[in-house]
Chain A
Amino acid sequence: MSDLETKPGADTAAGGRVEPADNRFTRALSHVISDLGKNGIFIALILVVVVFEILTNGVLLRPQNVSNLIVQNGYILILAIGMVMVIVAGHIDLSVGSVAAFVGAVSGVFAVNMGMPAWLAVVLSLLIGALVGAWQGFWIAYVGIPAFIVTLAGMLIFRGLTLVVLGNQNIGSFPDFYRALGNGFITDVFGALDIDPLTMGVAIIAIVALIVQSVRTRRGRQSYGQEVEPAAWFVGKLVLVSAVVLLFAYALATFKGIPVTLIVLAVLILIYGVIMNRSVFGRHIYAIGGNLHAAELSGIKTRNVTFWLFVNMGFLAGLAGLVFTARLNLAGPKAGDGFELEAISAAFIGGAAVTGGVGTIGGAIVGGLIIGVLNNGMSIMGIGIEWQQAVKGLVLLLAVAFDVYNKRRSGGR
């Protein structure tokens, strides 16, 4: 700390003063409005869900379909996590689809052709994903070639290598442990009941954890004399989120239970959420994307951060490749085709800025879910692939246009 007078001033007693009621009301209202603005993407997701629930005559939210939504989109969501981090830093990764295919193919060689134990095949494959990321990160961070070019090259290189590894044939029929990554469910631990108690139990534990964590954060802020949202709104939001989680869990519990993919995703979201929000590394990513020069002159080792970002992206692309391969029970040459575009769309729909510096894991996940619901809903309605493509393109365009418009209105840069 500096020797300057850094004691907070006397005017931090915002919580202690008694305010006139109408003033308190407008402040509460402004909290609600600002929350709605920040969470516009959640509201968009809810709207999309409601619209398709109506258009599909209730098929969308049937237990089996809810479960499918997660399992079908798991690999895109995994990619979206890494992609939004790359985009926040001001880069892009076009190679993730090819890398996913490549790692899927390599895992096939390990697990099927060479007959390695499944766990070893998985670990080695993830390592190879990270190595691929290190290769690309090296060119981007230390040689200074734009990520667009390096990963465009990577897109071709690793698609080509996928074909080389597969030797013109599909590799198939993976061991059970491996397949669980994409297809497995944790269920019936307590016997085959109509509603799986484990799923509901996990959901309740998750809700309790969420409430405890939220209260602790709020208490922490209060103890530092920071302004917090009105109690009613705080409780209201928690009730709302808990209800959604319970309904979601109920849907899973009446079907097959908790998909393994969901567990993988939940762990990733938790870990990467903390990294982006709370860790020094995450702060450095935002700083680099916000102003590279300022970050450099603040002593941030920008090249190392960029390098590790791409290592991480390679790792996650590998993981997505494994989940996808496991789901199809097949490593094929066309695997991962177009994944990069869905992952990039998810990040941008989720509020990431094209210029870098802005974006969240949560936003990217919700963006990915919106794309997932669009895909799924339109498929149920029997809309052809051609219109699905067009609609998704339009949604991406409108989402980014909305973001640009918002920024201009608020005077941005």
Chain B
Amino acid sequence: MTTNILEMRHITKTFPGVKALQDVTLDVARGEVHAICGENGAGKSTLMKVLSGVYPHGTYEGDIVFENETMEFRDIRDSEAKGIVIIHQELALSPYLSIAENIFLNNEIKGPLGLIDWNKTNIEASKLLARVGLRENPTTKVLDLGVGKQQLVEIAKALSKRVKLLILDEPTAALNDEDSAHLLDLILSLKGQNITSIIISHKLNEIKKISDTVTVIRDGKAIETIPKLEVTEERIIKDMVGRDLEHRYPDHTPHIGEEILRVEDWTAYHPQDPTRVMVDHVNLNVKRGEIVGIAGLMGAGRTEFAMSLFGRSYGTRISGRVFKNGVEIKTRTVSEAIDNGLAYATEDRKFYGLNLIEDIKRNISMASLKKLERGGLVNDNEEYKVADSYRTSMNIKAPSVLAKVGKLSGGNQQKVVLSKWIYSDPDVLILDEPTRGIDVGAKYEIYTIINRLAAEGKGVIVISSELPELIGICDRIYAIAEGRITGEVPIAEATPETLIKFMTMEKERSDV
């Protein structure tokens, strides 16, 4: 009988307007590999942030019991002191420091004068590197390592802190097959050294391979915990998506016309690594009045496709052809793309979409100042009128259009982004994660707006990692994996299960 190293009891965490976690209980047995699955935004990362003290004690409800003691972590250092180490999806290494320096960052081995003992540091680092199976000189700069090796350095760093519970957030998301396999072996070997792991992953085959127990989280609730013998991919998928699909999406009767946009052989490479193909001969089309979904996991090339198409805002060595109404168009710059009737509403509205220090009015007009201009001067009364009309028609909740966008809620910010692009009067809108970080009510409003755009005869492409959302609003769905379109599913046949199968379809590798 194993004992539990960790018990998270009745954890509830609320953000303004959103209940991110609701009464979640998670038991992790000593020495096991415990997988946590769930869609993007289900609450996995939030749960881990609660556990590691990123959200300090007092900002959530419930108890964390670690090694039979109730914990009240104030910050991440508290949890690390107890042996809980989290390795995030985005690695937290300093690129210009050496491996050894990174491993002992803020945990330096000091000599008698309080100065760093470099010999001992490098020797200890070598020992740790041996444990994670990384054959590199500890003085090598992290910059010079690939992502897979950097991941190993992170684990070595965790080991240096005498980790008892290792949390890995999507550890293989950015790794190739070989590195992934090595990493999974390492997790199993750490298990042999009595280190417990929690692994968050989308990759169901991986989970099945290494985990002893799987907990599925959906909409901030723990759905069930499945012991190893009962784990099947079907059951996990059902738990992940099995929600009431009724009434979350407005009714939509499509009036689909002729083709409005067609993309042929669209290919783009990674901007820093021009040998790495990110978008691989994508072919797709949209018709008038049609809502087309693109389903893909994070990093599958969805955003890369959209941004490379929209004025080459992403990637290098971009090739392919675009046709609008059957006529080839160019989209070499953003303004050319806009002039040709394209609009792209970004997935990261704060970073790429909005000028947060400006007001609603100026954000809405930002992409269409030409329309308000006469002789180089902007008619700001007209601008106010336009913005105010969108405030009304899009139901943007703000005292006036002079309110700063940075002070609005996520849903209202998203409505400003959509207003901006609708005002640019496009024929095709690409909406990248249009409902990310938005509460349920505002989501419904966004869906209604999308339907209205389609009803006006525009073509709408919706990129989303929430499958029920795509199934709820789209007329047709493409699945994308590793930069390729792996499937095209008419809405009548679309189920989360079929989509996930396409979304996780890997390239056939000639070298295996």
Contact = CB atoms under 8 A, between A and B. Distances in A.
Contact of B385 (A2, A8, A227, A291): A8
B418 to A, nearest CB: 10
B335 A301 contact: yes
A3 B373 CA distance: 20
A57 interface: no
Given A290-B356, A301-B335, A220 B381 contact: yes
B17 interface: no
B205 interface: no
Contacts of B384: 221, 224, 226
B452 to A, nearest CB: 7
Nearest to B385: A224
Interface in B333-373: 333-335, 337-338, 344, 346, 351-358, 362, 365-367, 369-371, 373
B400 A290 contact: no
A297 B357 contact: no
Interface string B300-313: 00000000001101
Interface in B426-455: 452
Contacts of B382: 224
B488 interface: no
B358 A357 contact: yes
B406 interface: yes
Contact of A297 (B344, B369, B376, B452): B344
A299 B311 contact: yes
Given A2-B425, A4-B456, A283 B378 contact: yes
A287 interface: yes
Contacts of B400: 227
A38 to B, nearest CB: 12
A278 interface: yes
Nearest to A356: B357
Contacts of A279: 376-378
A412 interface: yes
Contact of B381 (A7, A8, A224, A358): A224
A301 B452 CA distance: 31
Nearest to A9: B392
Interface in B277-314: 310-311, 313
B423 interface: yes
Interface of A is mostly: loop
B317 interface: no
Contact of B452 (A4, A7, A11, A295): A4
Contact of A412 (B333, B354, B357, B392): B357
A227 B334 CA distance: 36
Given A5-B393, A281-B376, A290 B422 contact: no
A88 to B, nearest CB: 11
B389 interface: yes
A12 B388 contact: yes
B376 A280 contact: yes
Contacts of B344: 297
B55 to A, nearest CB: 20
Contacts of B392: 8-9, 11
B373 A280 contact: yes
A300 B333 CA distance: 10
B377 A291 contact: no
A174 interface: no
Contact of B366 (A3, A4, A298): A298
A412 B406 contact: yes
A307 interface: no
Interface string A248-288: 00000000000000000000000000100011110110110
B255 interface: no
A6 interface: yes
B390 interface: yes
Nearest to B400: A227
A9 B395 CA distance: 11
A103 B159 CA distance: 63
A307 B452 CA distance: 41
B386 interface: yes
A221 B379 CA distance: 11
Interface string A1-42: 111111111011000000000000000000000000000000
A284 B393 CA distance: 26
B359 to A, nearest CB: 11
A52 B357 CA distance: 36
B407 interface: yes
A212 interface: no
B378 A278 contact: yes
B313 A290 contact: no
B389 A8 contact: yes
Interface string A315-330: 0000000000000000
Contacts of A301: 333, 335
B355 A294 contact: yes
Contact of A295 (B355, B365, B388): B355
B422 A294 contact: no
Nearest to B350: A291
A382 interface: no
Contacts of A281: 376
A191 interface: no
Interface string B307-329: 00011010000000000000000
Interface in B395-411: 400, 406-407
A299 B357 contact: no
Contacts of B333: 299, 301
B67 interface: no
A5 B311 CA distance: 29
Contacts of B381: 220-221, 223-224, 226
Contacts of B352: 293-294, 297
Interface string A85-109: 0000000000000000000000000
B377 A274 contact: yes
Contacts of A2: 422-423, 425, 456
B258 interface: no
Interface in A221-245: 221, 223-227
Contacts of B346: 297
Contacts of B149: none
A299 B392 CA distance: 26
B385 A286 contact: no
Given A9-B392, A296-B313, A3 B357 contact: no
A236 B376 CA distance: 33
A413 interface: yes
Nearest to A355: B357
A221 B407 CA distance: 25
Contact of A293 (B310, B351, B362): B351
Given A8-B385, A290-B355, A413-B357, 13 more contacts: A2-B422, A4-B422, A221-B384, A283-B362, A287-B362, A293-B352, A294-B352, A295-B355, A297-B353, A299-B335, A300-B334, A358-B357, A413-B406
Nearest 10 interchain pairs by C-beta: A290-B355, A299-B335, A9-B392, A298-B367, A6-B389, A299-B334, A299-B338, A224-B381, A291-B355, A298-B366
22 contacts: A1-B371, A3-B456, A4-B452, A6-B386, A8-B385, A8-B388, A8-B389, A9-B392, A12-B388, A221-B381, A278-B380, A279-B376, A287-B366, A291-B356, A294-B353, A296-B313, A297-B334, A297-B353, A298-B366, A300-B335, A301-B333, A358-B357
Interface of A: 1-9, 11-12, 220-221, 223-227, 274, 278-281, 283-284, 286-287, 290-291, 293-301, 353, 357-358, 411-413
